[in-house]
């Protein structure tokens, strides 16, 4: 791949990858490292990808795997397949209220959601990827993505509601908690 | 499909409408059309999703991250001769296609960096070169010099790439690399000289070593290098006319 093509690839995807990494890693330094590591892997291996149209999915998958690899090394990952259904009576938050929040506050709310929901939610809100691509990146069935999106949004609304009140964050089910 | 199932599906429906063409949402969206309550729910949901997505998009990476990635990528990618990059191979493929209607031969060291450069220049002239209009006036002196240069040309080309740059010389992309192209007439025929700075990757051939030739039909190319630059000279006047100059 030429320098020009590589620059174009970086320009097209690095910001979205960084946002995904920031949501996962929760701090800018680790997010930057993850993003850079993803393109490093591309530079050394990704050029063998035959279908360049799949580069975006490849990059997100690689970043996600790198994140899991790093966390696994730190012993913080606990396998989990699913969680009990989210409580449906969590406080809701009005759209107008969220619209008044700045990006940092919304990001903080997102970061406080358990990883199992945060992963698909972040990819969904980046809007670059379909639910099918999200399922591919996270290596879970499509139905699981939909389920986690549905319940993740309930959790996100609850977190945002608490942020709006300026109160403490709600706790969610701890069983098998992953992040 | 009931409303509960529709909500389950539509939770994955992106607020920017990217999924509008996805048939998987078709039935759920039909249900929305039929049920005003579900419509209200979807409107609220999409408004909420749009605001969250907007806030997430507003998060900007650190200003130096992109440059760090680019620099890291350059340092990390497997090194190989630019003359044998995929783009060169694409140029070679173009040559192969042209060869179906004409004979192609290489002499000199087949597969050498210079052969690759000659083949790519040949492909460029055959596929992309249009006319000689619009050549900058600043280059008229150089064109005249080449038209009257002592032969053989490869001993006397002495091209100053800085002069080409200052003269706004046309550049073309050969193998992902910018190469100057200057056209001049000699003995009534047009010749096209491609010039680029030598780099370590093109040092497979030695200065003063063999000149590489390539030709397709009536179009012929030769490539050589001096201490500073690598050159390819291409003409549609045929190999005999080309060899006369070099």
3-state SS track over B144-201? HHHHCCCCCHHHCCCCCHHHHHHCCCCEEEECCEEEEEEEEEECCEEEEEEEEECCHH
Determine contact: A107 vs chain B, CB below 8 A: yes
Between chains, do B44 and A95 touch, taking CB under 8 Å as contact? yes
Answer yes or no: is pLDDT of A13 > 60: yes
* CA trace torsion A68, A70, A73, A74 (10° rounding): -100
Q: Higher confidence at residue A58 or residue B115?
A: A58
pTM (whole model) above 0.95: no
Q: What are the pLDDT digits (tens) for B142-190? A: 788 888 877 777 665 667 887 787 777 777 777 667 788 888 888 888 8
**Cβ contacts (< 8 Å) between A153 and chain B: which residues?**
11, 45, 48-49
Question: What value does the mean pLDDT of chain B take?
Answer: 74
Answer yes or no: is pLDDT of B95 > 70: no
Answer yes or no: is pLDDT of A121 > 70: yes
Burial of A22 (0-12, 13-18, 19+ CB in 10 A): buried
Answer yes or no: is pLDDT of B79 > 60: no
B53: nearest CB among A32, A43, A127: A127
CB A135 within 8 A of CB A144: yes
Q: Higher confidence at residue B133 or residue B203?
A: B133
Between chains, do B12 and A43 touch, taking CB under 8 Å as contact? no
Q: Please, which residues have CB within 8 angstroms of residue B154's CB and are 6 or more apart in sequence?
A: B211, B222, B224, B226, B231, B246
Radius of gyration of chain B (CA): 28
Q: What are the pLDDT digits (tens) for A71-85? A: 776 544 333 333 344
Answer yes or no: is pLDDT of A133 > 90: yes
Pick the closest to residue B45 from A116, A133, A93 (CA basis). A93
B17 phi-psi bin (left φ>0, alpha ψ -120 to 50, beta other): left
Between chains, do B73 and A6 touch, taking CB under 8 Å as contact? yes
**Cβ contacts (< 8 Å) between B56 and chain A: which residues?**
19, 23, 103, 106-107, 110, 122, 125-126
Q: Higher confidence at residue B208 or residue A10?
A: A10
So what's the pLDDT on residue A164? Answer: 82
Determine contact: A97 vs chain B, CB below 8 A: no
So what's the pLDDT on residue B159? Answer: 76
**Cβ contacts (< 8 Å) between A136 and chain B: which residues?**
none
Between chains, do B7 and A15 touch, taking CB under 8 Å as contact? no
Least confident of B20-24, B112-116, B206-210: B206-210
CB B214 within 8 A of CB B95: yes
So what's the pLDDT on residue A74? Answer: 58
B182 strand-pairing partners: B193
Answer yes or no: is pLDDT of B125 > 80: no
Q: Are strands B219-225 and B229-235 parallel, antiparallel or unpaired?
A: antiparallel
Answer yes or no: is pLDDT of B62 > 80: yes
Q: Are strands B104-107 and B177-186 parallel, antiparallel or unpaired?
A: unpaired
**Cβ contacts (< 8 Å) between B176 and chain A: which residues?**
2-5
């Amino acid at each position: 791949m030429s320098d020009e093509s590589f620059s174009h690839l970086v320009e097209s995807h690095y910001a979205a990858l960084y946002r995904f990494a920031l949501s996962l890693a929760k701090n800018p330094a680790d997010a930057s490292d993850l993003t850079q590591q993803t393109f490093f892997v591309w530079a050394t291996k990704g050029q063998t990808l035959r279908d360049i149209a799949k580069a975006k999915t490849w990059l997100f998958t690689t970043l996600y795997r790198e994140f899991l690899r790093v966390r696994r090394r730190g012993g913080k990952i606990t396998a989990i397949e699913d969680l009990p259904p989210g409580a449906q009576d969590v406080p809701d938050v009005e759209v107008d209220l969220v619209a008044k929040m700045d990006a940092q506050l919304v990001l903080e709310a997102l970061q406080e959601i358990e990883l199992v929901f945060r992963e698909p939610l972040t990819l969904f809100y980046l809007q670059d990827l379909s639910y099918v691509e999200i399922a591919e990146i996270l290596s879970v069935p499509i139905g699981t993505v939909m389920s986690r999106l549905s319940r993740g949004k309930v959790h996100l609304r609850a977190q945002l509601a608490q942020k709006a009140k300026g109160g403490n964050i709600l706790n969610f089910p701890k069983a098998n908690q992953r992040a | 499909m009931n409303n509960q199932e529709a909500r389950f599906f539509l939770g994955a429906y992106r607020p920017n409408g990217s999924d509008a063409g996805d048939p998987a949402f078709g039935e759920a969206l039909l249900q929305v059309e039929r049920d005003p309550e579900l419509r209200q729910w979807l409107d609220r949901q999409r408004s909420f999703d749009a605001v969250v997505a907007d806030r997430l998009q507003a998060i900007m990476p650190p200003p130096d991250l992109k440059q760090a990635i680019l620099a890291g990528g350059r340092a990390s990618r497997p090194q190989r001769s630019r003359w044998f990059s995929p783009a060169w191979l694409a140029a070679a493929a173009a040559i192969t296609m042209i060869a179906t209607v004409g004979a192609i031969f290489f002499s000199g060291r087949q597969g050498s960096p210079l052969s690759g450069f000659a083949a790519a220049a040949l492909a460029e002239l055959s596929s992309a070169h249009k006319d000689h209009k619009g050549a900058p006036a600043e280059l008229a002196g150089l064109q005249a010099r080449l038209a009257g240069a002592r032969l053989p040309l490869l001993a006397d080309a002495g091209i100053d790439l800085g002069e080409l740059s200052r003269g706004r010389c046309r550049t073309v992309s050969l193998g992902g690399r910018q190469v100057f192209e200057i056209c001049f007439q000699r003995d009534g025929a047009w010749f096209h000289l491609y010039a680029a700075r030598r780099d370590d990757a093109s040092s497979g051939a030695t200065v003063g070593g063999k000149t590489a030739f390539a030709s397709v039909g009536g179009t012929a190319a030769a490539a050589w290098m001096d201490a500073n630059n690598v050159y390819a000279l291409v003409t549609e006047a045929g190999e005999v006319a080309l060899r006369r100059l070099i």
